[in-house]
Chain A
Amino acid sequence: MSVLAVLEQRGGAWNRASFETLAAAQQIARELNATAMAAVLGDAIDPLAGELAGKELAQVYAVEHELLKNYTPDAFTIALRQLVESAKPTLVLFPHTYQVRDFLPKLATSLGTVAVSDVVSHRVEGATLVLVRQLFQGKVNADVRFCDGAPHFASLQAGAYRADRLAAAAGSPAPIEKVTPQLSPADIRTRPLELFRESERAVDLGAAEMIVSVGRGIQEADNIPLVEKLAKALGAELAASRPICDAGWLPMERQVGSSGQTVAPKLYMAIGISGAIQHLVGMKGSRVVVAVNKDANAPIFEMADYGIVGDLFQVVPELIAAIEKSKGS
């Protein structure tokens, strides 16, 4: 039995979720009495494979090909299918990144199976692995089990496992096997062009000590100044969940979440934010979380240290008054 972690890199730099997946693979392998292995795909990845060899792993695969330099779902699927067919892992784990979402369902389908995506935790019952995922925007949890033969595939939500639990190699480094997949340019139907950014970020929310963040509950653009006033009273940066930035009510650079910035302030105040998973992964490192929401069952309250269940249009003006009063006293 073996657990293979497939890690993500771009241009020689790791995706930050990669080592969370590697730590999860080590942990699950220990619990299942299996060996842990890791794979990295790309072009010129020797330094990355060397870094992996320093971890507690039975095997490192360096899957190298010039057609893997720039990501395409076709090349990644073909290369990984070949790797899985030769390495024969029982379980293959991925970080649940945008890139993995783009190819993992295709890879699993091409092997006639289904990947369990966006897993938040697991447990081992006897010899059976039970994965936990969130349904209905985080309102319900589900235990999921594989019921076909190996290989099994799963992707892990960012932040669900801790990279600082990663074990280094106890003795000699793990062996590295270089793998050259059978790939030809004719296999690749999409043509990826250069990466670009739209604008330089003027606001570094990552450095903010306090953040007041606003979500759908604010209802319309004309109501944004109310939250802005709260941020000002606290001396906090103003941020938002995705729908607010999509609507153009606040600039994209103020967006917190998986497609925006990841923040870890000492105080994060979520106003009218229900707490979709995509938002929570961007702010769950915050020290103290306050939520104001009219829905007592909103997932944001799962994260909150303090909460007010109520109409934000009534609560926020009172909060501003109370903060100003407290600062004045």
Chain B
Amino acid sequence: MKIVVAIKQVPARDSQLRIAGTGKWIEESDLSYEINEPDAYALEAGLQLKEKHGGEVVALCAGPARAAQTIREALAKGADRAIHVEEDVGALDPLAGARLLAAAVRGESPDLVLTGLQSDDMGYGQTGVILAELLGLPHATIIMEVEVRDGSARVKRELEDGWFQHVEMPLPALLAIQSGISKLRYATLMGIKRAKTKPIRRVTAADLAMAPQSACIALDRLYLPERTKHTQLFEGNPKQAAAQLVEKLKFEARVI
């Protein structure tokens, strides 16, 4: 079985973000980056399926040169090879990003395409579903379990309010994997060593002969959210802060 897993590199979770001078994006120069955590779960799901059914896992990533680090980590964890669409996708809308991924993966004819649920940067939560539509694949999202049998998949979908549903579909298909469904593996030393020799196919939008598309939506301005609530912050040593807080909860908010 050939499994393509789409992964994205995003600013590390604890990053202190600043708005760039243009007001249209964030200041990237002093950031560190990591794999988008929801995508790490998609990669894990792909690696587990390969361990069960055989075949190969292909990591697919669109991003600038620095994304090579995230790709190498995916290879070190067990992906067999990678496709790096070397383009800055930071502020692209989800359709433009998915078009790049679709063009890069089209010749691969995978049995299964896996994505995370959303990115921790833009957070549109759309790339997987758009990719399915562009590739003409059936899809399902928020997937907790995947069973593959005789050219079809049976998946467990999460619905709201504690409900679940099984859905069956023929392969090839695209699944957007729920985060947290399994424990993420670490790369082994052997894996890190092997990753260095695994093939990475690098392509650009020009290589993919992408027709220019005009944007459908525009990010006009980025800004830090204004506090809607006035938060009383207690500082100083923990003992004093705790005492002040309890005092307020008791005599001002009157909730304890």
Contact = CB atoms under 8 A, between A and B. Distances in A.
A114 B140 CA distance: 19
Given A106-B129, A135-B123, A288 B253 contact: yes
A87 interface: no
A295 B14 contact: yes
Contacts of B181: 246
Given A137-B123, A138-B225, A140-B224, A190 B167 contact: yes
Interface residues of B, number: 78
A259 B158 contact: yes
A118 interface: yes
B117 to A, nearest CB: 8
A322 B17 CA distance: 35
Nearest to B136: A189
A147 B133 contact: no
Interface string B163-179: 11111111000000001
Interface in A133-159: 133-148
Interface stretch (A32-40, A44-52, A170-178, A297-305): A297-305
Contacts of A322: 239, 242-243, 245-246
How many chain A residues sit at the interface, stated as a range, is 35 or more
A123 to B, nearest CB: 11
B48 interface: no
A106 B98 CA distance: 12
Contacts of B132: 106
A137 B120 contact: yes
B124 interface: yes
B55 interface: no
Interface string B220-244: 1111110111011111001101110
A21 interface: no
A58 interface: no
Interface stretch (B72-80, B103-111, B191-199, B210-218): B210-218
B141 interface: yes
Contact of B126 (A105, A296, A306): A105
Q: Which 8 A-B pairs have the closest CB atoms?
A: A246-B180, A318-B242, A189-B138, A105-B126, A105-B129, A322-B246, A114-B216, A193-B166
23 contacts: A97-B160, A102-B140, A102-B141, A106-B130, A106-B133, A134-B123, A135-B123, A136-B11, A136-B26, A136-B123, A140-B224, A146-B216, A148-B216, A193-B166, A201-B162, A234-B256, A243-B180, A296-B233, A306-B249, A308-B234, A318-B238, A318-B239, A319-B242
Interface of A: 15, 73-74, 97-99, 101-106, 108-110, 112-118, 130, 133-148, 189-198, 201, 210, 234, 242-243, 246-247, 252, 258-260, 266-267, 277, 287-288, 290-291, 295-297, 299, 301-311, 314-315, 318-319, 321-323, 325-326
